[in-house]
Amino acid sequence: MTDNSATPAVLITMPHSHYCEKARWALDWLSLPYREEPHVPLLHRLATMRNGGRSVPVLIYGAGRFTDSTDILIHANAVCGGDLLYPRDSALRKEVEALEARFDEKLGPHTRRWAYAQLLTERRLLRQVMSRGVPRFEAGILPLIMPGVVRLVRTGLRITPENARRSIERVHGVFNNVSERLSDGRQFLVGGRFTAADLTFAALAAPVLFPAGYRAAYPALDKVPTAMRDEVLRLRGTDAGRFALRLFSQERDRRLAGEARHALDVSGSG
Q: What is the pLDDT of residues 29-80, one digit of tens each?
A: 999 999 999 999 999 999 999 999 999 999 998 889 999 999 999 999 999 9
The mean pLDDT of 261-266, rounded to a whole number, is: 51
Residue 270 included in any domain: no
> In the predicted model, is pLDDT for residue 268 greater than 80?
no
Q: Domain range spanning residue 102?
A: 90-251
> How far separated are the first and last CA of the chain, in Å rounded?
26
CATH number reported for the structural domain that contains residue 242 in this entry: 1.20.1050
| Residue, of 259 and 187, whose pLDDT is higher | 187
Which tens digit of pLDDT belongs to each residue from 74-111? 999 999 999 999 999 999 999 999 999 999 999 999 99
Report the pLDDT value the prediction gives residue 270, as an integer from 0 to 100: 38
Query: Are 54 and 167 found together in one domain?
Result: no
Secondary structure class of 60 (helix, strand, coil): strand
Classify the C-alpha dihedral 70-72-74-76 as positive or negative: negative
Which tens digit of pLDDT belongs to each residue from 201-225? 999 999 999 999 999 999 999 999 9
Residue 258 included in any domain: no
- Total domains, the chain: 2
Report the pLDDT value the prediction gives residue 63, as an integer from 0 to 100: 86
Query: Are 106 and 137 found together in one domain?
Result: yes
The CB density around residue 101, as the number of other CB atoms within 10 Å, is 13
Q: Sheet of 58-61: strands edge to edge? A: 34-38, 9-13, 58-61, 64-66
Query: Are 231 and 209 found together in one domain?
Result: yes
Query: Are 211 and 140 found together in one domain?
Result: yes
Q: What is the rounded CA–CA span in Å between residue 208 and residue 195? A: 21
Query: Are 243 and 123 found together in one domain?
Result: yes
What values do phi and psi take at 183, rounded to 5? Answer: -70, -15
